[in-house]
């Protein structure tokens, strides 16, 4: 099938590439000329494990190409995926400027007989509005489908290739798809069939339910994180150990282990934005989502947890302190720093006059773009430790999990670790002479 994907960011690139990998002929379209130039020269504007190899192969075999020219890109496509950014606006609701711009361009340029598939996360009702807008502005009969994306950065290729489920919202009337909606669903079912061979479900619902499903999924996951973070803080006060508690509850099949790791708060381009979007929808409809307001507040507070521990340890005078920071991306295996808790920590430490030596395997270029040379960027984890009075760990990259504590101690001026991801056994670290602070466990 011929496919266009508008927006070649994290979602668009993975979508375009994985669809090409299944034999489709895919054109990726973006308004950002630098991104398209990079892609055309064989480089990726983002880091996502496994993606570059797939892009290279599919470009070589002529199934994947890129253009800045929307008109040319969508021309021959039967399906047009929309994966443009929907960032948080000033009032907490998503800013849909990009989506409407794409919608209007499609109304103007579409040759007709196309299905517009919205992958961007958009407020409930948006797909129906888009369908109406296209109807008003185009002489062609363009179908719209909502197809929220559930991939996780860091394992996005695998998530796309082996989704837990595919959710599709199509034109709907009463309690079922309209005839046209059902036809659209069949086209998408066929497209996704290579990814669903292990009996993963393909769920056809109304556009509103599809849009809401994406928000509810992320809100549930964000709630789990804020819940365990709040319990971790309480454990610290009460003399309990959150890791032991986590094991105790995780073995309960009703609870499980996933997303119950305490830390320095969630970040990324999705959870904060999507929780805020639901809060905005709650306000707009007079049905406030008080639980999510608490989830958001807990998360905002949690981003300061490491700085609080650092200040407690050194006292209020931090000007003479040099701090190493491991992990800047909002999570491991990505270079994405949107809403990353590490940025909040850096800002607080810099404001307090702390000198910073930072390391992240992939995200340093993005941090440099944002804050320039206010910190020292170190190519290796150990070089960040040279002369440091302490180490703060914010992101749990695999390579931080089993360091040589003796080497670390030799490099550091003072052996202190503030571990925002509970990577180590307190006893192991203290045996090597470190003072060790972690989340929800007693200081040792
Ligand atoms: P991104 O910022 O990485 O990429 C968006 C791309 O869209 C950019 O390259 C931008 O230049 C392009 N774009 C914007 N307006 C355009 C236009 N008018 N014409 C052509 N290109 C345009 O964003 P992302 O992280 O890929 O997210 C995209 C959407 O998917 C968002 O709605 C997001 O909430 C949702 N989502 C993201 C993830 C994730 O993990 N990143 C997961 C699921 C869903």
List pLDDT tens digits, range 388-397. 999 999 999 9
Q: Whose Cα sits closest to atom 27 in ligand 1?
A: 85
pLDDT value at position 317?
Answer: 85
Q: Is 224 in the pocket of ligand 1 (CB under 6 A)?
A: no
Instruction: For 233, list phi and psi in degrees, rounded to 5.
Output: -60, -40
pLDDT value of position 5: 98
Torsion of Cα atoms, 162 then 165 then 171 then 173, to 10°:
160
Residue 177, pLDDT > 80, answer: yes
pLDDT in tens, 299-355: 999 999 999 999 999 987 899 999 999 999 999 999 999 999 999 999 999 999 999
Which candidate, 330, 332, 310, 331, places its Cα nearest to that of 321? 310
Question: What pLDDT score does 443 carry?
Answer: 76
> Side-chain half-sphere of 421: how many Cα atoms within 13 Å?
22
Is any ligand 1 atom within 6 A of the Cβ of residue 83?
A: yes
The chain-wide mean pLDDT, for the chain, equals 97
Task: Using the mean position of ligand 1's atoms as its centre, give its distance from the Cα of residue 269 in Å.
Answer: 9
Confidence (pLDDT) at 399: 98
User: What is the rounded average pLDDT of the residues 75-96?
Assistant: 97
- 203-221 in b/e form (b: 16+ CB < 10 A) is ebbbbbbbbbbbbebbbeb
The pLDDT of residue 262 is 98
Per-residue pLDDT of 31-74, as tens digits, reads: 999 999 999 999 999 999 999 999 999 999 999 999 999 999 99
**Each residue of 217-231: pLDDT tens digit?**
999 999 999 999 999
DSSP 193: G
pTM above 0.95, yes or no: yes
Please work out whether the CB of residue 96 comes within 6 Å of at least one atom of ligand 1: no
Longest dimension (CA), the chain: 74
Atom of ligand 1 nearest to the CA of 13: 26
């Amino acid at each position: 099938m011929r496919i266009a994907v508008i927006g070649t960011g994290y979602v668009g690139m993975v979508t375009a590439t994985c669809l090409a990998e299944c034999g489709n002929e895919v054109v990726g379209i973006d308004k950002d000329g630098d991104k398209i130039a990079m892609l055309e020269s064989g480089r990726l504007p983002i880091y996502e494990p496994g993606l570059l190899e797939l892009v290279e192969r599919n470009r070589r075999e002529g199934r994947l190409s890129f253009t800045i020219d929307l008109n040319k890109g969508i021309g021959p496509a039967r399906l047009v995926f929309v994966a443009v950014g929907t960032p948080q606006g000033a009032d907490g609701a998503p800013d849909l400027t990009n989506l409407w711009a794409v919608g209007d361009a499609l109304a103007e340029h579409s040759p007709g007989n196309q299905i517009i598939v919205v992958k961007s996360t958009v407020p409930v009702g948006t797909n129906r509005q888009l369908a109406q807008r296209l109807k008003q502005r185009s002489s062609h009969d363009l179908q719209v489908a909502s197809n929220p994306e559930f991939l996780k950065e860091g394992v996005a290729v695998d998530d796309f290739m082996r989704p837990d489920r595919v959710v599709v919202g199509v034109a709907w009337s009463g309690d079922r798809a309209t005839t046209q909606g059902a036809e659209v669903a069949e086209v998408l079912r066929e497209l996704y069939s290579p990814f669903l061979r292990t009996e993963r479900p393909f769920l056809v619902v109304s556009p509103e339910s599809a849009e809401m499903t994406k928000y509810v999924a992320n809100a549930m996951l964000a709630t789990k994180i804020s819940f365990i973070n709040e319990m971790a803080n309480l454990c610290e006060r009460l003399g309990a150990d959150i890791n032991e508690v986590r094991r105790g509850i995780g073995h309960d099949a009703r609870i499980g282990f996933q997303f119950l790791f305490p830390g320095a708060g969630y970040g990324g381009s999705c959870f904060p934005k999507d929780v805020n979007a639901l809060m905005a929808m709650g306000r707009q409809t007079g049905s406030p989502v008080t639980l999510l307001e608490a989830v958001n507040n807990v998360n905002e507070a949690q981003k300061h947890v490491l700085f609080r521990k650092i200040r407690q340890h050194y006292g209020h005078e931090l000007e003479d302190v040099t701090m190493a920071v491991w992990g800047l991306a909002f999570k491991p295996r990505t270079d994405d720093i949107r809403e990353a808790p590490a940025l909040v920590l850096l800002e607080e430490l810099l404001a307090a006059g702390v000198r910073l030596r930072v390391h992240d395997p992939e995200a340093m270029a993005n941090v440099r773009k944002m804050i320039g040379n206010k910190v020292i960027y170190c190519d290796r984890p150990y070089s960040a430790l040279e002369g440091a009075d302490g180490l703060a760990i914010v992101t749990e990259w695999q390579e931080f999990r089993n360091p040589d504590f003796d080497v670390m101690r030799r490099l550091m001026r003072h052996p202190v670790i503030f571990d925002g991801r509970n990577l180590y056994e307190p006893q192991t670290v203290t045996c090597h002479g470190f003072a060790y602070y972690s989340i929800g466990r007693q200081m040792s």
